[in-house]
Amino acid sequence: MRKILIVDDEAMMLMVTKRILSPNYEVICANSGEEAIDVYFKEKPDLILSDLLMPEMTGFEMHEIIQKRVSEKVPIMYMTADDTEETEGKGFDLGAADFIHKPFKPDILLRRVENVLGNLEKIKDLTEEINIDKLSGVLNKNGANTKLTKVCEETDGILAIIDLDSFKLVNDIYGHEAGDRILIGFAEIIKNNTEPDDIIGRIGGDEFIVFLYHVNDENVLAGLSARVNDRLYKLALEVLGTDMKIPLGASFGAVRVPDFGREYPDLFKMADKALYYVKQNGKHGYSFYKESSAVTSNESPEEEMRKISKLLEERNIQNCAFWLGQDAFSAVYRFMLRYISSYNGVAYKLLFDVMPESGADDGAYAYAIDSFGELLNRSLRKSDIMMQSKPNQFFLLLPEITGENIDNVIARILRQWETLNGNKDMKVKLVYEKETISKHEAEEEERRLYKHRDYEE
């Protein structure tokens, strides 16, 4: 039931107004502006129905005092015997929802109150819609900043920025649709592991923010971080498949409120500094902001080494190639060129094109491309890397392999494809090119790459 605060210094008017509204609303009464201010912040009514001319404090003065203490618009409707345009004009300038003139008929009062509450509900719905992130269903950046500015001023708790680790690889390797499913699922994970009143927002592509009400204990954030990372990993396996090799996780940078003040922009910067520390020290964990400019760890160097090594271990790596997006592949490719050039290594490049034959429809062709990509991935070594350079094209880099062995690898891939294609009749053919990379070729290609980069810059 919606709640209405009636404010009037005349006891009879209070009683009459309460009797009219009580069958439809929860009614609270105050007989002065001063009392109404206290009641408003204790009860948070849906509407104030206030007399305008009261001794000591007018309805306007009461309205102004309340409005200064809250960020949202105060829902207020005035009752008055003064019907001058100047009075109504001032009220509407302050943000009054409506006026009703004394004396009023019960049905008129009920209708006016119902209209005001209906309009306020529509405005609230529109405001919420504007402030909600359409993909994840949590607050968007504007909504989160507005709400957190007020909350940090008034409430104690923990403000934490959450960043998804290695999320870009999800989009690069599996596509943006899979990335969106991860973001939607991650928002649900956060909601399911926090309290209903806690604030959750998405403030960037893969960056979220939470405020944990009335929490100061580090163990609460530690538990949240552990649960979220566990659920996120399981979600990734569901969305991306059990052969998923991306070290997806979540890093938390937090600050206690009000230990370091109540100004949200300052607190945000502090939480961001703590987040940076986590991202630079293993990820998949949490850190609290400390007054020291460099957040330090209480763990011994041996413990830190063990922790970092554990985080860098490959998870669920099967006997298959490392399939990367183009940005990640480019970085690894340049590293391999430097390695071959410096240590006299050798590698082979392979380029496969999947070409449609006569009679192949679009759906069958797309299925054939996906099938060949999976075949390549399973057929190669864990030390090999690959990327899908075009929708129908795969580029492979195979380090430390001889000319004889590369021919064997190609022959094996072609045999496996012939078997698969013969069973499925996918109406495609394969075209491939191979090229060796020795020390000399690596040095030449490095020079070309650097010239190209300098030209672009």
* Contact between 25 and 3 (Cβ < 8 Å): yes
- pLDDT, tens digit only, all 457 positions of the chain: 899 999 999 999 999 999 999 999 999 999 999 999 999 999 999 999 999 889 889 999 999 899 888 767 788 999 887 766 666 667 677 777 888 888 889 999 999 899 888 887 776 665 566 788 989 999 999 899 989 999 999 899 999 999 999 898 888 888 899 999 999 999 999 999 999 889 999 999 999 999 999 999 999 999 999 999 999 999 999 999 988 888 899 999 999 999 999 999 999 999 999 999 888 877 899 999 986 444 445 556 776 666 666 555 544 445 567 787 777 788 888 888 888 888 888 999 999 999 988 877 777 788 888 888 888 988 888 889 999 888 889 999 999 888 889 999 999 999 988 888 766 667 788 999 999 999 888 888 777 765 544 434 4
Burial class (CB in 10 A: 0-12, 13-18, 19+), 408: exposed
What does R_g of the chain's alpha carbons equal in angstroms?
32
Q: Number of C-alpha atoms within 13 angstroms, CB side, residue 298?
A: 3
DSSP letter at 104 equals -
pTM score, whole prediction: 0.48
Query: CA-to-CA distance for 383 and 406, rounded, in angstroms?
Result: 14
What DSSP string runs through 370-381? HHHHHHHHHHS-
3-state SS, residue 354? strand
Among residues 9, 108, 31, the alpha carbon closest in space to that of 98 is found at 108
What DSSP string runs through 283-316? SSSEEE--SSSS----S-HHHHHHHHHHHHS-SS
Domain 3-130 has CATH 3.40.50.2300: yes
Q: Number of C-alpha atoms within 13 angstroms, CB side, residue 379?
A: 20
What residues does 162 pair with on adjacent strands? 208, 252
Query: CA-to-CA distance for 422 and 411, rounded, in angstroms?
Result: 16
Query: CA-to-CA distance for 138 and 132, rounded, in angstroms?
Result: 6
Query: CA-to-CA distance for 390 and 396, rounded, in angstroms?
Result: 13
**Domain segments of the chain: what residues?**
3-130, 141-312, 322-456
What are the backbone angles phi and psi of residue 138, rounded to the nearest 5°?
-100, 180
CATH number for region 322-456 = 3.30.70.270
* Cis, peptide link before residue 391, omega less than 30° from 0: no
Tokens standing for 341?
């050039």
CATH value of 141-312 in 3.40.350.10, 3.40.47.10, 3.30.70.580, 3.30.70.270: 3.30.70.270
Check for a shared fold between 141-312 and 322-456.
yes
Tokens standing for 91?
């009220």
**Angle of CA points 19, 22, 28, to nearest 5°:** 95
* CB atoms inside a 10 Å sphere around CB 254: 27
Among residues 361, 401, 352, 351, the alpha carbon closest in space to that of 381 is found at 401
